[in-house]
Structure 1
């Protein structure tokens, strides 16, 4: 097999969350693609420009110094990260037109037409999950073979953007290894300086939330072998000193049987790990009888995707949850010594001061340990995009479409008042006496550390966001509609892969 020198580039992300904390997590998507490429015999290197962050000129200089045959881009902050990737890719191509540039991730999976039409630096786009598709693409490029018959990519044919047939979802997630050997684990930390990794037990989500930009990308929910996965986490701890494991899953607890098996397998490994991640409140309520196993396995915090406390809004976005379930999930987590972080999304079109006040009171009745506030951000491949397509865009800098900036106008409130409610809600929920008492005096030392770390980070982010809003960010009045800004709805293409065919073709 012909081989390539392949450089994986993780560009610096402009979002607030990436710039304020001192901790950095490894880029799981690039490592997931890198492992199989290493096993195929390619020379693979990761350039993680998040550290610093590296200026564009330094990224280009270091990339060219390694003399790669191909440069692969991808980013977890897909939409807001695209302008940075575009700039870096163009600079590399300008200096070395012979380098093959491949781009993967959620945003390019759906915006492949525009990228290939407007950015000549990009050779091909990997659509959907990338392990097998990237292997096939790199093998063909290294051998000088045509790529137009490779499933799961977009490229140019006679100068026009075209997409090949969708690739099949990977049924056996254990068939590909994450390229942990591509990073120095000592550089990556979370939870206040503890050595950390990002992992996936599962991919996808079976629920129908119509705003979710991830559901269609993964096409269907699957999980790794629970015992093998537990063994991998234990190895990362024993061989690399990993203490914190951040689950990137949308919903790892879908199958109670598989999740129960994983918890027992990890407990049997007897390793001192801190586990954090996201799940649904109804899964926590369902698992009330095994929550002690969650705690014993190392779970310290769950982010619960509540999104809003208004029943009409929950119905609009097809969340499928209930406020009574949310409240019970938080109570059960606290009863079992696990922190709860409630997400709450603002910026829906018809919100008023009364809606914000009612939502705050509901959040206080939930009594979460922590809160993560977000702004509604539509993506054109989701069904929610049609509901928001006529709303006015007030933020045309696509680097700000990261859920932490207001991008849409609301009918009844100016942007500055939405911000005040946003920050006021954060302040009240995190600073109420009950919450402060937990931060200062919680009997569990580990949870006390976690809450203090999050509080310290919040004290830095909170004024930074306000300063940016009034001094640095630029919003516009009478902006284009969402559909004018992003283009026609694309929800008919939401499923990026096909789940009907057999899994991995090992004859590739």
Structure 2
């Protein structure tokens, strides 16, 4: 079967301002199994340009595909664009079957299938096995109801979901379809040839604002040695210089992570690695941090989310301000850049709260900062906490963590916006930060900090212009529950856990191996 995978152009400022583009790992992860199943697959990556939607549709329909798959990592904010593309495809070729996947459609499948008929099927949760099974069933003229992990409209045009699919226990069983892209077109870190990869999926922690734990259901990791060999192959065969790890929390298992570090060191390839992790894991790994840098790790994003202990308790972060500060110190000691995420709007903050947060950020002394706004998703427990707060941003394209979407009673939108922008500017412009950018002893670190500073400056001014001239906010908007619907945290887990086979002991008692 002919299959086209579409990566919609994203509207987020962070996607439009940089000259670098990273490949869409989620679609490549589907492409590999589809090709291995005997299908003819190709990718239309509309991020380049960005590609006008009419051109996206023309390219997608160029060879009259049987199926079109649409997905995007920025699932919520990309949904309006994905919907437009699907409508345009159906207008030109109504018989083309469109399959939609991602975190947003996984949970909003009822609303999507009720509101429009342009999406024929929605894949819920992990898609590698599900999409192959769905296309095989349709190709053999079998009922799609037999395929686990999908949603569609039944014979009465009512939204219907099959039983959840099981998680993939062996991540190495499905390969990434690297042949779908020209790797030379993709870069990051200021022009370095780069790709996105995953060592693990899921996260065992219970942060109530994050939906990744429920989407992936449980934490699993790839074989550390095989993963390192794939990175080395990408470097030797395709000249890849940098790996952006897309895991939620790759360092959960110290044993598995140590095995990966050792394997990367053994491969001896000059590949840089960036990603994110928890501050607690950095503190835990103080005795092996020298291996991090030796293995190529050059920057860790620390998902601190806030610098206030009460807020951290509200969102069940599980960390502490002391471990956050210590993690930054340890990373600097071992030549690894730290980027601290700081999120505004979890609570009804005022100027005094923001000032206290700013002072704590200065005390943390991170190399870089990424200031974001709380963006509550319906499938997270935090949505229930915030369900009665007013929505000031109705445009779902701006639900990208870089725009304020919830009303604050003590601060008007312009007050919060310019406070956050000033905090960003002050943290990045400290004498310490400027000295590192100008005089850091590691030339690779100087390059990376200068690149990030240059890009951040362009994004900063673009955001200010957007706030003043383009973005539209509502004065008396709906509540969060009225805007998105009822909370879905009760159905947070999108898949069922695939348990190891039970073993029979000599006593006749069955036991299950520990995960």
- TM-score by structure 2 length? 0.96
**1:193-232 matched pairs, under 5 angstroms:** 193-232=191-230
**Count of aligned pairs:** 500
* Pick aligned residue for 1:138 from 135, 139, 156: 135
In 2, the alpha carbon distance for the partners of 1:405 and 1:309 equals: 20
C-alpha deviation, 1:474, in angstroms? 0.3
**1:323-338 matched pairs, under 5 angstroms:** 323-338=321-336
**1:25-174 matched pairs, under 5 angstroms:** 25-158=22-155, 159-174=157-172
Find the residue that maps to 1:148 and give its secondary structure: helix
Whether contact under 8 Å (1:393, 1:482) holds in the other structure is yes
**1:219-298 matched pairs, under 5 angstroms:** 219-298=217-296
Counterpart for residue 307 of structure 1 = 305
Find the residue that maps to 1:44 and give its secondary structure: strand
Q: What is the CA deviation profile of residues 93-134 of structure 1, one whole-angstrom value per residue up to 9, with x for unaligned ones?
A: 111111010001100000000111112111110000100001
Q: What is the CA deviation profile of residues 425-474 of structure 1, one whole-angstrom value per residue up to 9, with x for unaligned ones?
A: 10010000000000000000101100000000011001100000010000
Find the residue that maps to 1:341 and give its secondary structure: strand
Q: What is the CA deviation profile of residues 362-384 of structure 1, one whole-angstrom value per residue up to 9, with x for unaligned ones?
A: 00000000000100000010000
In 1, the alpha carbon distance for the partners of 2:201 and 2:347 equals: 31
In 1, the alpha carbon distance for the partners of 2:63 and 2:25 equals: 22
* Pick aligned residue for 2:15 from 15, 18, 22: 18
Whether contact under 8 Å (1:349, 1:409) holds in the other structure is no
Whether contact under 8 Å (1:35, 1:179) holds in the other structure is yes
In 1, the alpha carbon distance for the partners of 2:136 and 2:177 equals: 18
Q: What is the CA deviation profile of residues 220-262 of structure 1, one whole-angstrom value per residue up to 9, with x for unaligned ones?
A: 0000000000000000000000001000000000000000000
Q: Bigger CA drift: 139-148 or 339-348? A: 139-148
Find the residue that maps to 1:236 and give its secondary structure: helix
In 2, the alpha carbon distance for the partners of 1:153 and 1:325 equals: 41
C-alpha deviation, 1:502, in angstroms? 5.3
Find the residue that maps to 2:117 and give its secondary structure: coil
Whether contact under 8 Å (2:392, 2:474) holds in the other structure is yes
Whether contact under 8 Å (1:71, 1:100) holds in the other structure is yes
In 2, the alpha carbon distance for the partners of 1:118 and 1:305 equals: 35
Find the residue that maps to 1:144 and give its secondary structure: coil
C-alpha deviation, 1:500, in angstroms? 4.3
C-alpha deviation, 1:501, in angstroms? 4.3
In 2, the alpha carbon distance for the partners of 1:146 and 1:19 equals: 41
Whether contact under 8 Å (1:196, 1:243) holds in the other structure is yes
Counterpart for residue 379 of structure 1 = 377
Unaligned runs of 5+ residues in structure 2 are 502-515
Q: What is the CA deviation profile of residues 150-190 of structure 1, one whole-angstrom value per residue up to 9, with x for unaligned ones?
A: 00000111211111000000000000000001000010000
* Pick aligned residue for 1:344 from 318, 342, 345: 342
**1:390-429 matched pairs, under 5 angstroms:** 390-429=388-427
Find the residue that maps to 2:416 and give its secondary structure: helix
C-alpha deviation, 1:66, in angstroms? 2.1
Unaligned runs of 5+ residues in structure 1 are 504-508
Counterpart for residue 186 of structure 2 = 188
Q: 1:448 to 1:225 in 2, by over 3 A?
A: same
Whether contact under 8 Å (1:349, 1:411) holds in the other structure is no
In 2, the alpha carbon distance for the partners of 1:139 and 1:239 equals: 33
